[in-house]
Amino acid sequence: MHYVYVLKSIKDNKFYIGYTNDLRKRIELHNAGRVESTKLRKPFALIYYEASLNKEDALKREKYLKTTYGHRYIRHRVRRYLEASL
């Protein structure tokens, strides 16, 4: 399986969108500070993910979710979670 995931930084409340084929390990790496782009923003909570059978499909979806429309989609999808965490 190939995963596109959205993490929310507990520190700054911003999202991080990424791709992996091992979701659990990747989240552990983010929270251990072993991912260069996110090490200063840890800890993270996984708030959303999608699974694909095809790597290219997952990468295309990741690219979309990083757009303005993709951010809007994510905020709409996890709206109740975000409201409850305020």
List pLDDT tens digits, range 17-38. Answer: 999 999 999 999 999 999 999 9
Strand order of the β-sheet with 15-20 is: 15-20, 2-9, 44-52
Question: Is there a contact between 54 and 1 (Cβ–Cβ < 8 Å)?
Answer: no
Model confidence band, residue 83 (pLDDT cutoffs 50, 70, 90): confident
Domain 2-84 class in CATH: alpha beta
- Output the average pLDDT for the chain: 95
Domain map (residue ranges) of the chain: 2-84
DSSP state, residue 40: G
pLDDT digit string (tens) for 47-60?
999 999 999 999 99
